[in-house]
Copies of this chain bind each other. A is one copy, B any other.
Amino acid sequence: MTGKRINGWQGVRDEVLRRIQTGQWKPGELIPGELQLAHELGCARTTVNRALQDVSDRGLVHRRRKAGTHVARHPVRKAVLNIPVIRIEIEASGQKHGYRLIDRSLAVPPAAAAARLGAKKRARALHVSALHLADGEAYVLEDRWINTSAVPAAASADFSRLSANEWLVENAPFSGGDIAFSAANASAAEAEILGGAPASALFVVERSTWNDKTGITAARLVFAPGYKMLTVI
């Protein structure tokens, strides 16, 4: 007994985090094995294993069989971004969600969008452009291409009341996707719709999703001036 009270695997994790934060275990250093820690802290090895896997997931230690567990030299902090449906994001902040469909048409997407959809050249896809509002103010402009050969049902959805964003979540399951965050100067049209001066800096999110290697949709979300995306480490 060390006199310390450890409360479950989260308690073990916190103790490990404390030893790293206080410098008791320094970067690059080998920490005791699971069995030894379990004995020291008075719990089963399984519990220590669970705790250390959590610390490893956070990037604070590296674990290798036979080599043991080492404190990371260059901890790679991980920030988890929650990506909810836009309506929910707005409502979660206590605001009223508004929605206005701007365009819905079948057309040949530009090369960049076609590539992200994995569609054939000159194949037509469904284009949906819409504005989301929070308490009546422009919030984000959604410009989206949908691969109708992968999601045929989309051809008969009208998107005038339910956004493509939300419709897809409920009707087009996906197995993976990628996201890019960047900044862009507002085009004249974007400045007109979103408000703010022409060429003002806008926060842009580009998402592609696919299901089993088949492209489903590619969206470009342009947020109104002043938007910040927040999270914690």
Asked if B74 and A179 make an inter-chain contact with CB atoms under 8 angstroms apart, the answer reads no
| Prevailing SS type, chain A contact patch | strand
Question: Within 8 Å of chain B (Cβ to Cβ): is A80?
Answer: yes
Asked if A21 and B173 make an inter-chain contact with CB atoms under 8 angstroms apart, the answer reads yes
Assembly CA distance A21 to B207 (angstroms)? 19
Asked if A78 and B83 make an inter-chain contact with CB atoms under 8 angstroms apart, the answer reads yes
Question: Within 8 Å of chain B (Cβ to Cβ): is A84?
Answer: yes
Assembly CA distance A173 to B72 (angstroms)? 13
Selected from B21, B76, B230, the residue in CB contact (under 8 A) with A180 is: B230
Write 20 A-B pairs (CB below 8 A) sorted by A numbering. A21-B174, A21-B175, A21-B211, A23-B173, A76-B88, A78-B80, A78-B82, A78-B83, A79-B81, A79-B179, A80-B80, A80-B81, A81-B81, A177-B232, A178-B231, A179-B233, A180-B230, A181-B230, A182-B226, A209-B233
Known: A76-B83, A176-B233. 15 other contacts (CB 8 A): A21-B174, A21-B175, A74-B84, A77-B83, A78-B83, A79-B81, A79-B179, A179-B231, A180-B228, A180-B229, A181-B230, A182-B203, A182-B228, A183-B201, A209-B233
